[in-house]
Amino acid sequence: MGKRHKTIVTHLEMRAEPRLLATPRPRGACALLRAAKPPLHFYRYLYDTVGRDYAWVSRRKLSDEELASIIHDDNVEIYVLYLDGAPVGFTELDFRGMPDAELSFLGIIPERIGEGLGRFLLGEAISLAWARHPARLIVQTCTLDHPRALRLYQRAGFTPYGQSEAEFDE
């Protein structure tokens, strides 16, 4: 049996499109590309690499069929941030629950944290989500995520609306 984790989950929402301050584009050749129906191995690479230090396990436990049914859904959008030709992060937007849209995942590979890439990616994800005109955009973060995640979401315009405790096995 794997490691048991306890965490506090903070649920946040955004009920109107924010007036985001322009975040500088990362230096170098930068591209944010939608990965339409990405190969499962590529998604798992991104998910595992970005989430390994933060106990991201929910998608790891899914079979290929279960994972494909989520990430290949027409109402789930995955965007990969590339810098100088290499993937450095990704975000996943889930529109299956419209009029609520969910920012399901957002993260940067460990080697590139601290360069402002997360702030840039979050701004882009928020703009992409509001382009679909949801009534609200939701996200959750927990005490196992990056220590600055909650503050980053709040600075971007998200407001906490609840907390819960969660336990899970890795």
Cα 88 to the center of its chain, rounded Å:
13
Its domain, for residue 85, covers 4-169
**Residue 91 · residue 50 · CB < 8 Å:** no
Quote the pTM value: 0.93
CA distances from 125 to 55, 93, 106, 143, 162 (A): 22, 8, 8, 22, 22
Q: What's the number of domains the chain is made of?
A: 1
Instruction: Look at 12-21, 32-41, 89-98, 116-125 and tell me which has the smallest mean pLDDT.
Output: 12-21
Residue with tokens 């989950």: 9
For residue 31, give both structure tokens: 């591209």
From first CA to last CA, the distance across the chain in angstroms is 8
Contacts of 48 (CB under 8 A, 6+ apart): 56, 60
**Count of other CB atoms within 10 angstroms of residue 39:** 11
Over 80: is that where the pLDDT of 94 sits?
A: yes
State CA 145 to chain mean position distance.
11
**Mean of the pLDDT values across residues 19-43?**
89
- Alpha carbon distance 89, 104 (integer Å): 14
pLDDT of residue 170 exceeding 90? no
Q: What is the pLDDT of residue 120?
A: 95
Each residue of 34-70: pLDDT tens digit? 999 999 999 999 999 999 999 898 899 999 999 999 9
17: CATH = 3.40.630.30
